[in-house]
Amino acid sequence: MTLKRPTRRRIENITDVEYSHTMASSEILTRLASNLPLEERHQLLERLKGQSVLTSDPLYFEEAPQKNAQLDLKGHYGALPWYMRFWYFLKSIFGGKSPIKVFEDQYVADLGKKIEEAAPGIFDYKRIRLLPPFHQYLTGLKEAARFFFDALDMGFNKDKGAFYAFLGSLEMPAVHKKLSVAANPASFAEQQPNASDSEIRRLCFETMEKALDGVTDNDKLVMYTNARSLLCLKQLSSFLFDRMLMAFTNDPAIKGNSCPLGTVRDQLINLNNILFSLRNPPSMSLLGSLFIFVLQDKAAEPDFDINRGTGGLLKKTETSLGTIREFNKNIPLTRIIRCGLRDMTVIPREIPGGEDWYMAYREHWKRFIEAKYSDFVKGRRHDELKRIFSDFFKGKQFRTIEHSASDDKADGFPLRGNYSLSFLLTFFTVVFLPELNMLLRVILVDGEFARKENELDFADWYNDFIRLENDIQRLDAKISPSGDIGKRYSLANQEVTALPVKRRKLQIIIEEAAGESLGIIDTTKKASKGLIDIINGILLKDSRGAKYEGLVNYDALAAREMSFAENLEAATLRFKSVIKILDDIDIMETG
């Protein structure tokens, strides 16, 4: 119970400590994608290949134009035999047009007729309009592309590096195994027990660099091809189909939706370039990696079945790729663009990109190894703190926060400062009450301070320690399933809402609890520092420029209390240890 002594509560601003319960790129590294062993990854890939209904047929069918087909119409006219040019000259006399213009009209009309023969009803070359069947095929292409947009958004777009690392484990298993060795600092510590933390880190990254040196030219080509497929799928899935479809309006002449080609010329050229770049279907390794990342959010569900999940995605993939293939089969897009623009130099071009896969792959492994090293160092510090605790508490049982998450209780509330509060709870029971309380109580009750301010400060700081256990237990009750914070956390976890919204709600609740936790820790550190200063003043040591003076009745207390000075000296050492250990825990937890 807090003693009723004159107190002057100082109004102190407890600094709000930002604590982000990170669930973005780093969560990917700790879920299904990274936890699936290498052998199981390859088994999954083999199962996908075994149940695959995907065809390896190309997705794009128009032949790559030859150099002589890239001439403009003037060039084509100049390449004609003299007698053909003479023929067009004669026609120009009667037509009132230049020979080249007569030739151009004939050439474009012939191309239009070929398009009509190959794809009837798609394009009106006379009116230069895209017709209703084109609109229908474009709508189907949009739906097919949408599947890949969702898949990429749930997988690749979240963390490119993590995705390439998973894909690399399938395409470059030997390199992946060596990189996994680099990401295990504990193994280096076992091999070299006397190595310092910095030496362990150096060995990790040296091993990483050697592993990356083992990436062959063929490995790079395979990964680049996959990266290109990803890029093309991303470009196609994010293409502005709706804007293009909105350009189609009702055409009374044909009683359907049509669109002047000139209105969407730039979009058509862009779409043609994307489809041309996506000539071949994505590899099974790429699709398998994408499926794993798509299914991550469902992995925690009780009835989750990875085989059923991947099988369903495989069927959707085949449907979507089949739609893309049908569009390209039925829509001779390059010829339509040439005819509509009267420009025979139009050819589909490769969209740029994909070269950055290696940088993303390398940076991922650097971050991943750094994170593993950080965990390793924290583990070492944790072990060292456990040893210090054992000495400090003389082997007495360590008290823990009942409802906070820990290594042994993963389903508890994720309370920041949990370890520090556990230390303080144990300190209160094992050290403060049996060793320090009676000594400090004597000073509080019987001590005659030279300055009234010193007495008030001492009472405040003493009471901070007296309340410590109650403050911690009150917070523990709040984060329990039946407590205010615990209830809100559980409800937010159960909400069926968008993942970013849910994460933000959980983060706000976690930060609220962290604010209270860190407030208790900060108050205890300040109280410890304050008591050290006052005790030093009592012992006539220089403290804060003599701000804290001694006790008027010090000699009387020293005569009454055996080893009074020695016990006060020992108390300052105890409080210094509290500050030092809390700082060490903070370093361990925050890195």
Q: Per-residue pLDDT tens for 310-364?
A: 788 888 999 999 999 999 999 999 999 988 988 878 889 999 999 999 999 999 9
- 492's CB contacts (< 8 A; 6+ apart) are 502, 505, 506, 509
Task: Please give the average per-residue pLDDT across 422-444, as a whole number.
Answer: 94
Taking CA atoms, 182 is separated from 57, 426, 556, in Å, by 40, 38, 66
Give the sign of the dihedral formed by CA 501, CA 505, CA 507, CA 508.
Answer: positive
Q: In what order do the strands lie in the sheet with 123-124?
A: 123-124, 129-130, 256-260, 249-251
Q: Which residue has the higher pLDDT, 345 or 582?
A: 582
Q: What are 421's two structure tokens? A: 């509060």
Beta strands in 295-441 (DSSP E): none
Q: How far is CA 76 from CA 4, 80, 84, 488, 557, in A?
A: 105, 7, 12, 75, 114
How would you class 122 by CB atoms within 10 Å of its CB: exposed for 0-12, middle for 13-18, buried for 19 or more?
buried
pLDDT for 3 beyond 50: no
Q: What is the pLDDT of residue 242?
A: 96
Which residue did the predictor score with more confidence, 51 or 115? 115
- What integer is the mean pLDDT of 78-93? 65
Q: Which of 239, 73, 254 is nearest to 148 (CA)?
A: 239
Specify the pLDDT at position 28: 35
> Quick one: average pLDDT of 449-464?
93
pLDDT surpassing 50 at residue 58: yes
Cα 2 to the center of its chain, rounded Å = 47
List the structure tokens of 210: 């050697």
Q: Which of 271-275, 394-398, 420-424, 504-508 has the lowest mean pLDDT?
A: 394-398
Q: What confidence tier does 129 reach under pLDDT thresholds 50, 70, 90? A: very high
State the DSSP code for 51. T
- By the 8 A CB rule, do 323 and 141 touch? yes
Please enumerate, as own/partner, the contacts of 250-258 that have beta carbons within 8 Å and a separation of 24 or more: 251/129, 254/131, 254/132, 256/131, 256/132, 256/135, 257/132, 257/135, 258/124, 258/129, 258/130, 258/131, 258/132, 258/135
Interior/surface letters 178-215, b for 16+ CB within 10 angstroms, e for the rest? bbbebbbbeebbeeeeebeeeebbebbeebbeebbeeb
pLDDT of 77 > 80? The answer is no
Averaged pLDDT, 78-89: 66
Q: Is the pLDDT of residue 2 over 80?
A: no
90/77 Cα distance (integer angstroms): 15
Which of 218-232, 337-351, 506-520 is predicted with the least confidence, judged by mean pLDDT?
Answer: 337-351
Residue 354 backbone zone (phi > 0: left; psi -120 to 50: alpha; other: beta)? left
Look at residue 102 in the predicted model and tell me its pLDDT. 58
Q: How far is CA 350 from the centre of its chain?
A: 30
Q: What is the mean pLDDT of the chain?
A: 85
Q: Which two tokens stand for residue 540?
A: 């006539």
Q: What is the pLDDT, as a whole number, of residue 100?
A: 62
| Predicted local confidence at residue 68, as pLDDT | 44
Lowest mean pLDDT of 79-83, 373-377, 528-532, name the range: 79-83
Contact 364, 162 (CB under 8 A): yes
Binned at pLDDT 50, 70 and 90, residue 521 comes out as very high
Question: pLDDT tens digits, residue range 535-577?
Answer: 999 988 655 556 788 899 999 999 988 899 999 999 999 999 9
Query: Is the predicted pLDDT of residue 164 greater than 80, yes or no?
Result: yes
pLDDT (0 to 100) of residue 47? 75
- The whole-number pLDDT of residue 60 equals 92
**Distance from C-alpha of 437 to C-alpha of 571, rounded to nearest angstrom:** 10
Structure confidence at residue 157 (pLDDT): 79
Contacts of 292 (CB under 8 A, 6+ apart): 32, 33, 36, 41, 44, 155, 166, 310
The pLDDT of residue 301: 67
Q: Find out whether 502 and 407 touch, Cβ atoms under 8 Å.
A: no
Mean pLDDT of 479-506: 91
What H or E segment, with its residue span, contains residue 61?
none
